[in-house]
């Protein structure tokens, strides 16, 4: 077996997934010997989550709202506050960008990070890395942190209050795990055990989402915590995180995320969710691979769960050819992960794939296609939330330590 140049960062130190697990924060902090912490939170997500945020117990909290982007400037601002407060940990309460920021702050200060997700839109809560952006919202770097996340408390009852389009975006981001990992791993003739685990996790992502994704969105709309919702949430957070965690650079990203990165240079793309841009990137990657039959098989699923299959559906249909060329240039810039695809991937090929995809999807006359910005009827119903209910056969008391 050949030796692989990789480091496994497989999981947080402790992970809990069950209804009401946020209430365990105080005792868990005591177990970790944490007495003071900076709690970083957002705006809208915090208003929804604050009623469920637990008492500090014996710990002392300083609460600070973040500025909306995971930038080096915001990281340094919060790090100064944490240092001045003599914080012993950073607690992040929010979505993916906020989790990335909390990890970046903790990494800068060499402190443990505790994450309480309010969304299931990315695997950020699982992974010890941060995607950094500039002040204009363009992606600029990945930061990989030397420590695993100390504690993740994933409370499904909190997630049932999240907007459906964010879960749909999480489905898109996680579906990419299979397509980006498989295009690399399938070309390795004798993979290591770690890479075999990564491949299994990636396939699990695909299978669970294609089977349960639509049902999970329906459960979210109804305010029901059932088997499908539980599987999709843990697929987005746990299984997705394991792909890169065990596969490292052989399974983390390829074409889809590079397309996302390219799109971030467009100011009008900043309103499009991360996972929605990645979902579009899956199709561009498949176009580059000339896998049009696979694209045809995915389009109905995209329509049912509200993922964009074209620039038009992301509100980017009027972007000029010159600016699309700039997107393609950014997509293939330097050592971008799109170069892990077979063949010579150039900006011209990316631009051609985007144009061909646009032409193909323009002939998709599916009246049931649900745009990311025009939710389907079942998704719109989520805005009138019913009280959360627990259904299904499982007891949903997952505790991984």
| Residue tagged active-site, from 100, 212, 260, 261 | 260
173: annotated active-site residue: yes
d(CA 165, CA 167): 5
Cα separations (Å) of 275 from 19, 25, 156, 169, 308?
A: 25, 29, 20, 4, 10
Residues in the chain, total: 401
41: annotated active-site residue: no
257: annotated active-site residue: yes
Name, in order, each residue with C-beta under 8 angstroms of 330's C-beta and a sequence gap of 6 or more: 261, 262, 264, 265
The dihedral sign for the CA sequence 373, 376, 380, 382: negative
| Residue tagged active-site, from 100, 155, 173, 261 | 173
Name, in order, each residue with C-beta under 8 angstroms of 208's C-beta and a sequence gap of 6 or more: 231, 232, 235, 239
User: Are the beta carbons of 113 and 104 closer than 8 angstroms?
Assistant: no
The dihedral sign for the CA sequence 148, 153, 158, 164: positive
**Host H or E run for residue 60:** strand 60-65
Task: Tell me which residue of 30, 396, 376, 29 sits closest to 213, measured CA to CA.
Answer: 376
User: Are the beta carbons of 113 and 126 closer than 8 angstroms?
Assistant: no
| Residue tagged active-site, from 155, 226, 248, 274 | 274
| Residue tagged active-site, from 100, 155, 257, 261 | 257
Token output for 17: 């997934």
Q: List residues with catalytic annotation.
A: 173, 257, 260, 274
């Amino acid at each position: 077996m050949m030796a692989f140049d990789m480091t496994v960062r497989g999981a947080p130190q402790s992970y809990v997934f069950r209804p009401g697990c946020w209430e365990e924060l105080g005792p868990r902090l005591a177990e970790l010997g944490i007495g003071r912490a900076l709690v970083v939170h957002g705006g809208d997500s915090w208003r929804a989550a604050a009623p469920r945020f637990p008492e500090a117990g014996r710990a002392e909290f300083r609460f600070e709202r973040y500025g909306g982007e995971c930038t080096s400037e915001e990281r340094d601002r919060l790090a100064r506050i944490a240092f001045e407060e003599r914080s012993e940990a950073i607690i992040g309460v929010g979505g993916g960008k906020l989790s990335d920021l909390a990890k970046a702050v903790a990494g800068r200060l060499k402190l443990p990070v505790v994450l309480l997700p309010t969304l299931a839109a990315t695997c950020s809560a699982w992974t010890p890395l941060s995607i950094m952006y500039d002040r204009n919202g363009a992606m600029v770097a990945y930061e990989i942190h030397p420590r695993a996340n100390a504690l993740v408390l994933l409370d499904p009852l909190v997630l049932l209050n999240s907007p459906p389009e964010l879960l749909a975006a999480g489905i898109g981001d996680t579906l990419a795990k299979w397509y980006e990992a498989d295009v690399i791993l399938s070309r390795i003739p004798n993979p290591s055990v770690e890479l075999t685990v990564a491949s299994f996790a990636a396939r699990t992502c695909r299978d669970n989402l294609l089977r349960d994704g639509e049902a999970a969105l329906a459960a979210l709309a109804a305010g029901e915590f059932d088997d499908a919702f539980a599987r999709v949430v843990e697929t987005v957070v746990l299984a997705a995180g394991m792909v890169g965690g065990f596969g490292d650079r052989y399974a983390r990203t390829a074409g889809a995320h590079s397309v996302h990165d390219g799109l971030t240079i467009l100011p009008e793309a900043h309103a499009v969710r991360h996972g929605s841009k990645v979902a579009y990137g899956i199709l561009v990657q498949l176009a580059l691979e000339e896998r049009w039959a696979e694209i045809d098989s995915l389009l109905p699923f995209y329509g049912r769960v509200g993922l964009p299959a074209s620039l038009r559906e992301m509100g980017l249909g009027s972007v000029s050819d010159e600016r699309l060329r700039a997107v393609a240039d950014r997509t293939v810039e330097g050592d971008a992960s799109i170069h892990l695809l077979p063949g010579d991937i150039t900006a011209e090929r990316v631009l051609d794939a985007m144009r061909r995809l646009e032409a193909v999807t323009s002939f998709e006359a599916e009246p049931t296609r649900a745009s990311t910005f025009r939710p389907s009827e079942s998704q719109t119903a989520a805005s009138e939330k019913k009280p959360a209910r627990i259904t299904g056969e499982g007891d949903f008391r997952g505790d991984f330590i």
